[in-house]
Amino acid sequence: MASAYLTASSSTALGVPHPTLRCAMAGGLLSLEACLERCIPPEDLAEVKRILYGGEARKLNLPAAALSAAQERDFELQGYGFEAAPEQLRRPRIVRVGLVQNKIPLPTDTPVAVQVAALHRRIEEIVEVAALCGVNIICFQEAWTMPFAFCTREKLPWTEFAESAEDGPTTKFCQELAKKYNMVVVSPILERDEIHGGTLWNAAVVISNSGAVLGKSRKNHIPRIGDFNESTYYMEGNRGHPVFQTQFGTIAVNICYGRHHPLNWLMFSMNGAEIIFNPSATIGSLSESLWPIEARNAAIANHCFTCAINRVGTEYYKNAFTSGDGREAHHELGYFYGSSYVAAPDGSRTPGLSRVQDGLLVVEMDLNLCRQVSDKWNFKMTGRYEMYAEKLTEAVQPHFVPNIIQDYLPFGSYKRSW
Amino acid sequence: MASAYLTASSSTALGVPHPTLRCAMAGGLLSLEACLERCIPPEDLAEVKRILYGGEARKLNLPAAALSAAQERDFELQGYGFEAAPEQLRRPRIVRVGLVQNKIPLPTDTPVAVQVAALHRRIEEIVEVAALCGVNIICFQEAWTMPFAFCTREKLPWTEFAESAEDGPTTKFCQELAKKYNMVVVSPILERDEIHGGTLWNAAVVISNSGAVLGKSRKNHIPRIGDFNESTYYMEGNRGHPVFQTQFGTIAVNICYGRHHPLNWLMFSMNGAEIIFNPSATIGSLSESLWPIEARNAAIANHCFTCAINRVGTEYYKNAFTSGDGREAHHELGYFYGSSYVAAPDGSRTPGLSRVQDGLLVVEMDLNLCRQVSDKWNFKMTGRYEMYAEKLTEAVQPHFVPNIIQDYLPFGSYKRSW
């Protein structure tokens, strides 16, 4: 196992994993959409895309300099656009959003500061390309400055990756990027909250294109599943559902496991979010068939854009750990399958980024589409939120009586099959 | 138009539409899943199914008599199964559910009583096959005894299709089926509520396998979109979110447009539903790319099974009507695309029934899977419903102040692009 750890780690160094290894680890399919494109005959492909994805996403023409830089730096670069109808009183509100997915470039036993520096460098070279593509708002993956090490249940060195949201080195780094490129930066990190007992949070820092820290959003729902032992590191967020009215649009951040909770998306939307980012870290065996469903359902249900981001690759740890599933102790959490995508309020979506490679997804959207779809489908108008506020208030009472209508069958005739 | 109306109507008589016509109307694709099966090479197909559908659904071995009867009667018959892990203290709780999708067998200008009788006959011959397949609970499509005529905005003759939920002819018909086949029957109809001023409702009657009427569930959210002019016929349901504890499992009915409202699914689940039926009537141009997402997301989010049912075909009306979209007056609402399916709490799903043909989908499920998935993913435990009860109560107040953090930029530098 130790040799597998070393081999695999070194093979992912510098973001250039061995192609065969990475295919095997990813389950063999580099991208679902690429497979459909290759296999479905042209006469059916448009119809398959309409049913599966709400139609063919418009490809953006990205600058040649950006495309060649992405290729040199070994990351995928894709661009898509969503349109809205012209209106009389509002001009189009076009914004370009960037989603970044990446592997960790260095083995997890490299010194903490060296790992952070390498991630900063990697993100810097991706953001530079995003700027060439005219990106206005960029979001990185969950806990982007570190390996997703909570599977180990070890505290050191992993808690050393935590930083102040307001003035930690990563926030300062992002402020520089924001100013340099006139870009709003959403930076999900492990937060050390010194003024509240030094507690840890899973947070996202939102930085204005002016370079100012606008605020932060904390992960509202913490998983208790498999090796996602995060609840031993930090608690459920205590900042509610803030939205950030930036120069380019009103945005919110629903971190990772919060995508499973429809009420979480709803409250961000109630507060006015038009774009909700969902920076995540999730693995294939656990969630891959849920991945295309949940963020997209949230875009539909809340008449907004959602941006689902997942990291890529397998991260190896020196000390083996068990998983509460009877398996032998092992050195990795599982395969992070990338596949980052954007869903639009009309239910359409972009193809996903690759399952195996670092990537930047550039998506142009006209935010006017949110209100247009809302006025068409009317889910907010027909939502009956007063009723649900009451029902939910009842449902959380200790003596809640569920509305159950029980079948009456004559004595002796009620055959339970269980 | 009148001749198109007559031709198309007569071509759908007896449930045997002209194949070319129906292909053209359906957009050419008979079934998304059949297309994938045909086109994706075997070495990738399993992986594509894992990502798209959560894996390969187990095919049920259905009796030869059922298969040949279905073929004779010109409807598709498919069967799939979902398993759960064995437990020590609970026996498996295996139930077989049947979903029925169908065209209207007669033109819409046939006398009301004749149309209803023809639909009763059609359903009777499908339910007989369901009984051969061991179905325990069966659900028909929304407003199954009538064309989905609300697009016309005419009251007569369409309101004549309304019946008492408790003792109308359709309920009596379903009671006979329930007793004869020892089957729970979910019968969505247009309800005439005589004891409350003769108002109409869009309701589903739930009938015990003993033949007793257990109760009814009313459509909680009424669309205001396109030609779904239902809000001029009936109001939002006033019966809350009842669940029915039948001999075979605890079920609920979320009618049609309610599938767009995550809180609606949630409250059925809070009341204990393990299977939520979603009888619907929806058309391709409007919702087809939302269809695979919403009911499946609800199964995931609520740790339950969901059963999405849609009618099939195009229904023509004698009097032309406009659609509020600038188009000329026309005679049909659009193409109902069938594609009924079942989603499981683990996020996997069955393939959909055909987009063009009547069908019966038989799905065997072990209800123990609901609690097993709940204990694994813990969405209920981590749902923070107390917080959301408070937040939602605040959000519906007239003076609700959204949680907005506004960017501050020096005077003059805040360039609104809209």
Q: What is the pLDDT of residues A317-376, one digit of tens each?
A: 999 999 999 999 999 999 999 999 999 999 999 999 999 999 999 999 999 999 999 999
Chain B nearest CA to A27, separation (Å): 8
Integer Cα distance of B388 and A395 in angstroms: 11
What are the CA-CA distances from residue A23 to residues A11, A20, A102, A336, B59 (Å)? 13, 5, 16, 12, 30
Please report residues of B whose CB lies closer than 8 A to that of A210: 407, 409, 413
Chain A nearest CA to B3, separation (Å): 29
CA dihedral of residues A318, A319, A324, A326 (deg, nearest 10): 90
Task: Please give the interface size between A and B, counted as residue pairs whose CB atoms are below 8 Å apart.
Answer: 305
* B84 in Cβ contact with B147 (< 8 Å): no
pLDDT in tens, B152-175: 999 999 999 999 999 999 999 999
Please report residues of B whose CB lies closer than 8 A to that of A300: 260, 290, 293-294
pLDDT for the residue B5: 35
Sheet holding A58-59, edge to edge: A58-59, A76-82, A359-366, A94-101, A137-139, A184-193, A199-207, A213-218
Catalytic residue among B133, B174, B256, B304: B256
Closest CA in chain A for residue B34: A48
φ, ψ (nearest 5 deg) of residue B190: -80, 120
pLDDT for the residue A26: 59
Integer Cα distance of B328 and B314 in angstroms: 18
Residue A171 has pLDDT above 90, yes or no: yes
What are the CA-CA distances from residue A25 to residues A97, B179, B355 (Å)? 30, 54, 36
Q: Rounded mean pLDDT of A19-47?
A: 75
Residue B57 pLDDT grade (very low, low, confident, very high; cuts 50, 70, 90) = confident
* B66 in Cβ contact with B132 (< 8 Å): yes
Integer Cα distance of A308 and A294 in angstroms: 9
- Would residue B172 show up in a list of annotated catalytic residues for this protein? no
Written as one letter, the residue type at B45 is L
Chain A nearest CA to B312, separation (Å): 16
Please report residues of B whose CB lies closer than 8 A to that of A224: 378, 381-382
What are the CA-CA distances from residue B11 to residues A199, A284, B4, B8 (Å)? 70, 47, 10, 5
Q: Which residues contact A358 (CB under 8 A, 6 or more apart)?
A: A15, A74, A75, A76, A101, A102, A103, A122, A126, A312
pLDDT for the residue A411: 54
Chain A nearest CA to B150, separation (Å): 17
Residue B29 pLDDT grade (very low, low, confident, very high; cuts 50, 70, 90) = confident
pLDDT for the residue A188: 98
What tokens were used for B19? 């194949």
pLDDT in tens, A266-305: 999 999 999 999 999 999 889 999 999 999 999 999 999 9
Residue A27 pLDDT grade (very low, low, confident, very high; cuts 50, 70, 90) = low
- Would residue B124 show up in a list of annotated catalytic residues for this protein? no
Most B CBs within 10 Å, among A407, A411, A413, A416, to test the B interface: A407
Integer Cα distance of B307 and B80 in angstroms: 13
pLDDT in tens, A129-148: 999 999 999 999 999 999 99
pLDDT for the residue A25: 54
Residues in chain A: 418
Mapping DSSP onto H, E and C, the string for chain B reads: CHHHHHHHHHHCHHHCCCHHHHHHHHCCCCCHHHHHHHHCCHHHHHHHHHHHHCCCCEECCCCHHHHHHHHHCCCEEEEEEECCCCCCCCCCCEEEEEEEECCCCCCCCCCHHHHHHHHHHHHHHHHHHHHHCCCCEEECCCCCCCCCHHHHCCCCCHHHHCECCCCCHHHHHHHHHHHHHCCEEEEEEEEEEHHHCCEEEEEEEEECCCCCEEEEEECCCCCCECCECHHHCCCCCCCCCCEEEECCEEEEECCHHHHHCHHHHHHHHHCCCCEEEEEECCEHHHHCCCHHHHHHHHHHHHCCEEEEEECEEEEEEEEEECCCCCCCCEEEEEEEECCCEEECCCCCECCCCCCCCCEEEEEEEECHHHHHHHHHHCCCCCCCHHHHHHHHHHHCCCCCCCCEEECCCCCCCCCCCC
Answer whether A51 sits within 8 Å of B262, measured CB to CB: no
pLDDT for the residue B12: 37
**What number is the ipTM of this complex?**
0.91
Provide the annotated active-site residues of A: 142, 219, 256
* A22 in Cβ contact with A313 (< 8 Å): yes
pLDDT for the residue A417: 44
Integer Cα distance of B236 and B221 in angstroms: 5
What are the CA-CA distances from residue A102 to residues A120, A219, A356 (Å)? 12, 20, 9
pLDDT in tens, B67-108: 999 999 999 999 999 999 999 999 999 999 999 999 999 999
> How wide is the angle at C-alpha A208 spanned by C-alphas A205 and A214, nearest 5°?
50
* A300 in Cβ contact with A345 (< 8 Å): yes
- Would residue B307 show up in a list of annotated catalytic residues for this protein? no
Per the prediction, chain B carries an average pLDDT of 91
Q: Rounded mean pLDDT of A238-245?
A: 97
Please report residues of B whose CB lies closer than 8 A to that of A273: none
What tokens were used for A377? 């489908």
Answer whether B250 sits within 8 Å of A386, measured CB to CB: no
- Count of Cβ atoms closer than 10 Å to residue A19 Cβ: 10
- Pick from A28-37, A162-171, A360-369, B250-259: least confident: A28-37
The gap from C-alpha B18 to its chain's centroid, in whole angstroms, comes to: 25
Q: Which residues contact B406 (CB under 8 A, 6 or more apart)?
A: A245
Integer Cα distance of A170 and A145 in angstroms: 8
pLDDT in tens, B241-264: 999 999 999 999 999 999 999 999
Q: Rounded mean pLDDT of A68-96?
A: 97
The gap from C-alpha A247 to its chain's centroid, in whole angstroms, comes to: 22
Residue B284 pLDDT grade (very low, low, confident, very high; cuts 50, 70, 90) = confident
Answer whether A270 sits within 8 Å of B395, measured CB to CB: yes
pLDDT for the residue A409: 63
Answer whether B262 sits within 8 Å of A262, measured CB to CB: yes
Q: Rounded mean pLDDT of B48-63?
A: 91
pLDDT in tens, A371-408: 999 999 999 999 999 999 999 999 999 999 999 999 97
- Pick from A228-232, B43-47, B329-333: least confident: B43-47
B216 bridge partner residues:
B205
Residue A111's Cβ-count burial label (10 Å; 0-12, 13-18, 19+) is: exposed
Residue B18 has pLDDT above 50, yes or no: no
Integer Cα distance of B161 and B175 in angstroms: 18
**Complete domains list, chain A, with CATH:** 2-377 (3.60.110.10)
pLDDT for the residue A410: 55
Residue B285 pLDDT grade (very low, low, confident, very high; cuts 50, 70, 90) = confident
Tell which wins on pLDDT, B30 or B205. B205
> Which one, of A195, A224, A193, A218, lies nearest residue A205 by Cα?
A218
Share of chain A above pLDDT 90, in %: 84
Answer whether A396 sits within 8 Å of B389, measured CB to CB: yes
Share of chain B above pLDDT 90, in %: 84
Per the prediction, chain A carries an average pLDDT of 91
Integer Cα distance of B136 and B209 in angstroms: 8
Chain B nearest CA to A227, separation (Å): 11
Residue B14 has pLDDT above 80, yes or no: no
pLDDT for the residue A408: 74
> How wide is the angle at C-alpha A123 spanned by C-alphas A118 and A126, nearest 5°?
130
- Pick from A49-58, A69-78, A111-120, B82-91: least confident: A49-58
Answer whether A90 sits within 8 Å of B296, measured CB to CB: no
